[in-house]
């Protein structure tokens, strides 16, 4: 591309499972490959690299394109994370979507929906928020739930308290959807998805752990998918990185992907790449050893 990218200071966490044990920092140009381009097989193109930038951080890059992109860039490449980028097509109709699930999955979903409805007095109360006048109420209700989640209490990864202005800007472009699931008038789960073009991006999902037995996250995702397919505004739902059961359950496809770090070959950057490679390799070897010893429960703690 002919334009120059904007660089910012990016933290590169050193993680063991969900726990961050350290951080390295580099000034990088962030690049996110749109889902539609990844599905279509379009070549990844990079903006110009500012003089003072250390390199690029590219998210959602199909794994089979990483080596070529690194070679073409002339920079030092390091894959920070490998994952299946799960997604769901939204343009085939909800009945066809459900038909793509196994009979066991459909039965499980129906049971969870029925149980939640019984606890809720017979009906499932899910409210969708999208317009500029609605996002303040969504943010207020979602923040109530987010404050109860382990993501916020332990990982500082809940829905940001300062996200409202950005939400308003997105809502003015019809570029977000938010949902809240209520139980007897009380919010118990939320889902927030900003949009890029005709793709919604799975950004935050949280639920009140007090009601975990009712599978509120699953119930909310099911109803959100039903609403989206009835609306017909968006074509794709991008579940991004991670390969948990929730994403596998609701996805219709996946792309083998990496988050790729490309660094200028300076001494500081080479040291950074070496440290990242050594740490990530040690975590991978520990996971493999635990798996071979049959300690899968412990190995799950090392998932990135």
Which residue's structure tokens are 């390295």? 24
Whether residue 170 has pLDDT greater than 60:
yes
Whether residue 302 has pLDDT greater than 50:
no
**Average confidence (pLDDT) over 174-191:** 97
Euclidean distance between CA atoms 230 and 289, whole angstroms? 47
Percent of the chain predicted with pLDDT > 70: 91
**Residue 303 confidence class, pLDDT cut points 50, 70, 90:** very low
Euclidean distance between CA atoms 290 and 172, whole angstroms? 50
Q: Is 5 strand, coil or helix?
A: coil
Give me the domains of the chain, ranges plus CATH numbers: 7-85+254-302 (no CATH), 91-234 (3.40.630.30)
pLDDT of residue 17: 62
Q: Is the dihedral of CA 35, 41, 42, 45 positive or negative?
A: positive
Euclidean distance between CA atoms 187 and 181, whole angstroms? 6
Average pLDDT score, the chain = 89
Whether residue 301 has pLDDT greater than 50:
no
- Decide if 239 contacts 247 (C-beta within 8 A): yes
Q: Helical H runs in 74-149?
A: 94-99, 103-119, 135-146
Residues sharing a CB contact under 8 Å with residue 218, sequence separation 6 or more, in sequence order: 109, 112, 246, 249
Residue 51 φ/ψ, nearest 5 degrees: -55, -40
* pLDDT tens per residue across span 44-81: 889 999 999 999 999 999 999 998 999 999 999 998 88
Euclidean distance between CA atoms 145 and 208, whole angstroms? 6
* pLDDT tens per residue across span 5-50: 689 999 887 877 656 777 889 999 999 999 999 999 888 889 999 9
């Amino acid at each position: 591309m002919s334009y120059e990218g904007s660089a910012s200071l990016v933290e590169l966490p050193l993680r063991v499972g969900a726990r961050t044990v350290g951080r390295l920092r580099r000034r990088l140009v962030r690049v996110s490959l749109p889902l539609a381009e990844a599905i279509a097989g379009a070549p990844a193109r990079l903006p110009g690299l500012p003089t003072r930038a250390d390199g690029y951080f590219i998210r959602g890059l199909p794994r089979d394109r990483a080596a070529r992109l690194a070679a073409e860039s002339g920079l030092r490449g390091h894959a920070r994370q490998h994952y299946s980028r799960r997604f769901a097509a939204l343009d085939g109709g909800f009945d066809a979507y459900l038909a793509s699930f196994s009979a066991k999955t459909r039965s499980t979903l129906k049971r969870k929906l029925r149980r939640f409805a019984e606890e809720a007095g017979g009906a499932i109360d899910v409210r969708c928020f999208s317009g500029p006048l609605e996002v303040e109420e969504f943010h207020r209700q979602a923040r109530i739930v987010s404050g109860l989640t382990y993501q916020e209490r332990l990982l500082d990864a809940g829905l940001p308290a300062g996200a409202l202005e950005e939400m308003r800007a997105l809502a003015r472009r019809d570029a977000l959807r938010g949902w809240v699931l209520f139980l007897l008038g009380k919010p118990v789960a939320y889902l927030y998805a900003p949009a890029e073009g005709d793709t919604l991006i799975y950004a935050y999902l949280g639920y009140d752990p007090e009601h975990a037995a009712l599978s509120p996250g699953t119930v909310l995702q099911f109803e959100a998918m039903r609403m989206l397919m009835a609306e017909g505004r968006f074509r794709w739902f991008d579940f991004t990185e991670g390969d948990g059961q929730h994403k596998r359950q609701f996805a219709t496809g996946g792309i083998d992907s990496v988050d790729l770090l490309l660094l200028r070959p300076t001494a500081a950057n080479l040291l950074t790449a070496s440290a990242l490679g050594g740490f990530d390799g040690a975590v991978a070897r520990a996971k493999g050893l635990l798996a071979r010893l049959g300690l899968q429960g412990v190995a799950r703690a090392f998932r990135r």
